[in-house]
Structure 1
Amino acid sequence: MENTDKSMAHGCGNCKSGILCTTAIPLFNALPGDVQKKLTEHSVQTTFERGSTLFRAGEEVDSVLIIRKGRIKLCKYDVDGNEYILDIINDGDAVWENLFLEEPVFPYDAICLSDVHLCEIKKTEFIQLLAYHPSIAMNLISLLSRRLQDSNEKALLLSIHDPKIRLAGFLLDRDIRCVGPEIKLKLEDIAASIGLRPETVSRNLSNFEKAHLIKRLGKGKIIVTDRSGLKKIYETK
């Protein structure tokens, strides 16, 4: 990761207070409490400012990165510098998928959309954990299956030609996955996520708001007020 963090410390401050961040991580929450505690005691806590780059495509993967708090976009760029957002992850998510490849590298860039608090668990300690707790392997398979399903759904979404239907599907997905009641994304980030022009997204958001399907609060905040209405639009695909 790039050296853009504001602070770094061994052990998670939350975990030292008795609140284990691993309990919110599907990869680790099935482990016994004492194992989770030991794992977090050996973690490294880092804090990154909004706009920081956590890592870039091609950099080596040597640890599991747990998002304790914050939002991160995973993105790629084409030869012309156009950004394509692959996913937006937040509290409780983890980055680890390429850890076990022969030459593990990140396939995308990771940019902080807010201040981000991470817990980092080194690859060597994670492998030791797998050796003593094979049940984690089942969690890995389950999570990878879910990621594959999400990727297939994203591919389906991007295959839809009607921008209104594509945007409706995206908002439905983000409404489920976001932390809290609000979808917090700039217009440009929504456009880059679903391959549309910002003005196209803006026009359709305005139409959705007029139809009382969503409410825009300003500063990139959107509340879905009528999920069934958006679902009806999406199901016309």
Structure 2
Amino acid sequence: MDKKSKSHEPICSKCPIMPDTMFNVCGFEVLDADLQNKTVETYEKNAVMFHEGDECRGVFCVYAGVIKVTRKDVTGAERILQFAKPGDLLGIPATVTRQAYHNSAHVLEATSVCHIAKEDFIDFMKKNPEFSLRVMKFFSKRIDYMEKKAKFVEETPLAGRLADMLLMLKQTYGINDQSELNVSIATADLANFVNADQGALIVELKKMSNEKILAIHNNRIQFLSIEKLEELIRPTQE
């Protein structure tokens, strides 16, 4: 684990990210009272918040930054499961099951998170049944997502998988006034997420650039035609 600093976190009721988290089913008074011991941890780019197999320290609520979550496959290669955004909670499965972390969290851009200790999170679930139900839904959606992703990767050509991922990143992190993605993701990570060879992915990106679907400036992807990206996905969904 690579930590930059650690300090006490302001109360939840004043946090602008709280409405975008799983905690939004709880009242401010409950959050401020039951989660008063949480702390803020900040991480520099390229730090690792936790490694797969590390002893679980609890849950992390992302306040700012970009994080890629990975897990090793049967060959030992790391596969990207998701790109986390502000409002996402990391470490829930390991915390609830009291096991080691099931995956790794790599910081792609300077990141700030709220850390909730393992026992504090479990106690919070016991005290707040509505939040516990939200956690159950989280596990259900997680399983459904992984099953759908596996099927999508198997049945969809690279162009469609890449288009789907780019639109997902746009929805997750947003774009600036020039229609450029607000985050810079390495081509190796893009290829990993869509289960493709990096060389093949670069060829597909160049093809999309030639067809005026997107452009790349200083490692930032600029969206030129959302409609054409959607068309690359649509045939597999009809």
In structure 2, the residue matched to 1:199 is 199
CA contact under 8 A between 2:96 and 2:122: conserved in structure 1?
Answer: no
Taking only aligned residues, the RMSD between alpha carbons, in angstroms, comes to 2.3
1:233 counterpart SS class: helix
CA contact under 8 A between 1:53 and 1:110: conserved in structure 2?
Answer: yes
C-alpha displacement of 1:141 = 2.2
Quickly say closer, same or farther: Cα 1:205–1:31, change in 2 above 3 A: same
% identical equivalent positions? 20
In structure 2, the residue matched to 1:89 is 84
User: Which of 153, 157, 167 in structure 2 is aligned with 1:158?
Assistant: 153
Does 1:100 find its partner at 2:96?
yes
Distance 2:131 2:74 in 1: 39
User: Which of 5, 19, 23 in structure 2 is aligned with 1:23?
Assistant: 19
Quickly say closer, same or farther: Cα 1:129–1:235, change in 2 above 3 A: same
In structure 1, the residue matched to 2:213 is 213
Quickly say closer, same or farther: Cα 1:45–1:80, change in 2 above 3 A: same
Normalised TM-score (structure 2)? 0.86
Residues 153-198 of structure 1: CA deviation (Å, up to 9, x unaligned)? 3212321362222212222222222244515311111011112122
Residues 199-237 of structure 1: CA deviation (Å, up to 9, x unaligned)? 211111121122222232322x21333222212111223
CA contact under 8 A between 1:22 and 1:36: conserved in structure 2?
Answer: no
CA contact under 8 A between 1:61 and 1:106: conserved in structure 2?
Answer: yes
C-alpha displacement of 1:126 = 1.8
Normalised TM-score (structure 1)? 0.86
1:57 counterpart SS class: coil
In structure 2, the residue matched to 1:149 is 144
Does 1:43 find its partner at 2:15?
no
C-alpha displacement of 1:113 = 0.5
Quickly say closer, same or farther: Cα 1:56–1:225, change in 2 above 3 A: same
Quickly say closer, same or farther: Cα 1:123–1:213, change in 2 above 3 A: same
Distance 1:21 1:40 in 2: 15
Which 5+ residue runs of structure 1 have no aligned equivalent?
none
Which 5+ residue runs of structure 2 have no aligned equivalent?
none
Of 68-77 and 208-217, the range deviating more from structure 2:
208-217
C-alpha displacement of 1:40 = 4.5
C-alpha displacement of 1:22 = 2.8
CA contact under 8 A between 2:212 and 2:224: conserved in structure 1?
Answer: yes
Distance 1:193 1:85 in 2: 5
In structure 1, the residue matched to 2:187 is 187
2:41 counterpart SS class: strand
